[in-house]
Chain A
Amino acid sequence: KNEVEQSPQNLTAQEGEFITINCSYSVGISALHWLQQHPGGGIVSLFMLSSGKKKHGRLIATINIQEKHSSLHITASHPRDSAVYICAAALGGGADGLTFGKGTHLIIQP
């Protein structure tokens, strides 16, 4: 069983829809990252969270430490949001670097 689980694996939605991607982890963490990867491989860090909620433009990330769960929300989705979204956790004290979820492949249709 992966220590970091993401769902859904694939998501297709229409432009304008509200998108939620979920991430759960099995042990305590020091930080949780949300990353975006476009075709071609480049990865951009969207958020790093250790508690609460962060917002950047149409993107919102939340984390519930007690439930070991984080969500990434996209409001008013747009075709340019189509990408793979990956959550990654610094598990325990972070001695093992980041542990990654398998990613969510998001397609926003116009």
Chain B
Amino acid sequence: KAGVTQTPRYLIKTRGQQVTLSCSPISGHRSVSWYQQTPGQGLQFLFEYFSETQRNKGNFPGRFSGRQFSNSRSEMNVSTLELGDSALYLCASSLLTSGGAETQYFGPGTRLLVL
């Protein structure tokens, strides 16, 4: 079974731009969660999607949004990029939604640099 894939793997943007990141979960997994990892804050939960619905959301501003499609693929969007948005963005999939009470399978991440 193919693992979780994320595209693109690396991205450079400038302040004020917007960016869309994509995540394809393991086949059959219906839940996708997104995380941000920075050296200062570590890993932080962004949001979780299940069956095209956002189930949980972390403490991030409205510039961070996401969606999930009927095939469980998910995208996250960050608008009006700030320097502090430079981070590794990870997605993880699991069979069902559980707010973190299921084993999660992580993708390789997208490394975003905002200049």
Contacts and interface: CB of A to CB of B under 8 A. Distances in A.
Interface of A: 30-31, 33, 35, 41-45, 48, 50, 86, 88-90, 93-103
Contacts of B111: 41
B108 A94 contact: no
Of B35, B37, B100, B104, most A-chain CB atoms within 10 Å: B100
Contacts of A45: 103-106
A100 B44 contact: yes
A50, A88, A97, A99 pick with most chain B CB within 10 angstroms: A97
Interface of B: 33, 35, 37, 42-45, 47-48, 56, 58, 88, 90, 92, 98-106, 108-109, 111
B33 A97 contact: yes
Contacts of B101: 30-31, 48, 50, 90, 94
Contacts of B104: 33, 45, 98
A98 B42 contact: no
Nearest to B9: A41
B100 A97 contact: yes
B13 to A, nearest CB: 18
Contacts of B108: 41-42
Contact of A90 (B37, B58, B92, B98): B98
Nearest to A92: B99
A99 B104 CA distance: 13
Contacts of B44: 100
B99 A103 contact: no
A96 B45 contact: yes
